Amino acid sequence: MKDAAKTLINIMNRLPKTSIWHNMETGQYMRVILRMLDMKHLEKSLMWEGLSPFDFHDIGKVLLPVELNDYRALYSDEQRLRAMAHVDYGQHVFSRMREQAPEAADFCFAAEQIALYHHECFDGSGYPDGLAGKEIPFLARVCAVANSFTGLRSGHGVFTRNSVVKSLDAIAKRSGTFFDPDIVDVFVKHTRLELIDELR
């Protein structure tokens, strides 16, 4: 494994274990969504040194104070602003890595877009740039759904732990506002069908 890849893993391992798990679980749900969209081939073209850009969306939190990394109450205004900076920190990690490892350009570009834009909202109310609709990079729109679903299921961060059904309902209610409605429709429909199949 190349030094740049080892450095990335070392950075990731500085996060709290719950945050590492959340990154990996969000990556798994990104794969699930892409499979549902018949786009599972996309990840293969972006892999580098056995690493996937889907697994590092919150890596920028490594530069946040510990109390903001896995905070389970509502942030104060000041804390919220500081926590929001994690998307810029994440983007910086991958832009620097792209300079140091040009052969990882595709991996870094995808990881950079996911890290920077996964808190943008489909209606333009998100951050950091207030992008709307298809202005938001596709993989960031996928990550937004996967990230929130993972948080809702596990109770990570500011979320309260929910059942699969309640988590899907929460995602569906934000279709077209927080999330890309096309991605939500496919994810919610397929996941509910899989739940029904499991009960049969």
Q: What is the per-residue burial (b if ≥16 Cβ within 10 Å, else e) of 31-47?
A: bbbbebbeeeebbeebe
User: Is position 69 within any domain?
Assistant: yes
User: Is position 200 within any domain?
Assistant: no
The average pLDDT across 98-106 equals 95
Q: Which domain holds residue 53?
A: 1-195
Amino acid 198: pLDDT: 54
Specify the long-range contacts of residues 100-107, CB closer than 8 Å, at least 24 apart: 100/4, 101/2, 101/4, 101/5, 103/48, 104/4, 104/5, 104/48, 104/49, 106/45, 106/46, 106/48, 107/46, 107/47, 107/48, 107/51, 107/53
What's this model's pTM, rounded to 2 decimal places?
Answer: 0.93
Structural domain tally of the chain?
1
More confident site: 194 or 125: 125
Indicate whether 199 pLDDT > 70: no
CATH of the domain at 154: 1.10.3210.10
pLDDT band for 74, please (50, 70, 90 cuts): low
